[in-house]
């Protein structure tokens, strides 16, 4: 892929991620527009705070981890941000998993969000384990998968306003995005890792 396209995509992803992350912190302070449906989640106390603090921080720092210059010239910073990212994903994942069972949107949303949380936690454990084992190509592949799931928070907020335009009720749209916000991301990333958008495979180890 052309460098300019890659930079534009990175910039767009970073700006959207920072916007959603910073706006999400309002739940920690309980200020600004808060969704009554979310506050009606059976397990929002204390899990919403755990979820938002971890997941929003992961979303904020995640894009920087993809900068090659940061990885090669500032390795200590890359490692520290990487730990913060993984801890954020694990806290966000545990909080998200618990809250999936308290969603007012019912069992379909529960399955969508709980499977996202479990897969997200799994990808981060794999990425961490491979970094410690110094298997950096495989580590990178799992981090790309992880961020594809972290980015679900952005996709969800891009998809949700489209449903009313298609005549779909908010709650049905919400159930749909519990899958739509991450499954297509993971499929695209898997195609990328297997070289579908390049002349040669990006990472042979992607299948690991």
Task: Report the interface residues with ligand HEM, using CB under 6 A.
Answer: 20-21, 24, 27, 35, 38, 41, 51-52, 55-56, 59, 92, 96, 99-100, 103-105, 109, 113, 116-117, 120, 149-150, 152-153
Minimum CB–partner distance for residue 85 and ligand HEM (Å): 11
Distance CA 161, CA 47 (A): 26
DSSP string covering 51-64? HHHHHHHHHHHGGG
Task: Report the distance separating Cα 137 and Cα 68, nearest Å.
Answer: 13
Q: Name which of 84 and 204 has its Cβ closer to ligand HEM.
A: 84
20 vs 131, which CB is nearer to ligand HEM? 20
Q: How far is the CB of 120 from ligand HEM (least distance, A)?
A: 5
Supply the angle between the helices 44-61 and 152-159 in degrees, to the nearest 10: 100
Smallest gap from Cβ 159 to ligand HEM, in A, equals: 12
CB of 124 or CB of 202, closer to ligand HEM: 124
C-alpha to C-alpha distance for 204 and 82, rounded to whole angstroms: 23
Q: How far is the CB of 129 from ligand HEM (least distance, A)?
A: 19
Minimum CB separation of residue 183 from ligand HEM in Å reads 12
**In terms of CB distance, is 65 or 150 closer to ligand HEM?**
150
CB of 64: closest distance to ligand HEM in angstroms? 15
Furthest CA-CA distance within the chain: 50
Closest CA to 179 of 93, 119, 98: 119
In angstroms, rounded to a whole number, what is the distance separating the alpha carbons of residues 89 and 182?
15
Q: Distance of CA 90 to CAs 61, 64, 113, 128, 147, Å?
A: 14, 18, 14, 11, 13
Of 153 and 202, the one with the shorter C-beta distance to ligand HEM is 153
* Closest to ligand HEM by CB, 139 or 185: 185
**CA distance linking residue 47 with residue 165, whole number of Å:** 32
């Amino acid at each position: 892929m052309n460098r300019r396209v890659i930079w534009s995509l990175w910039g767009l992803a970073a700006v959207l991620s920072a916007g959603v992350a910073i706006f999400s912190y309002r739940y920690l302070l309980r200020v600004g527009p808060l969704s009554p449906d979310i506050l009606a989640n059976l397990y929002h106390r204390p899990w919403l705070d755990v979820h938002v603090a971890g997941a929003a921080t992961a979303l904020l720092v995640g894009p920087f981890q993809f900068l090659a210059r940061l990885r090669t010239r500032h390795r200590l910073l890359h490692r520290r941000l990487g730990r913060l990212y993984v801890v954020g994903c694990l806290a966000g994942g545990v909080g998200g998993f618990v809250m999936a069972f308290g969603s007012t949107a019912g069992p379909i949303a529960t399955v969508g969000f709980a499977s996202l949380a479990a897969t997200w936690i799994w990808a981060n454990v794999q990425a961490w384990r491979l970094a410690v084992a110094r298997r950096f190509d495989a580590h990178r592949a799992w981090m790309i998968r992880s961020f594809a799931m972290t980015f679900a928070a952005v996709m969800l907020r891009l998809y949700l306003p489209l449903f009313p335009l298609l005549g779909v009720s908010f709650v049905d749209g919400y159930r749909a995005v519990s899958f739509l916000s991450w499954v297509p991301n993971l499929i695209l990333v898997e195609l990328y890792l297997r070289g579908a958008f390049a002349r040669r495979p990006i990472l042979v180890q992607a299948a690991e």
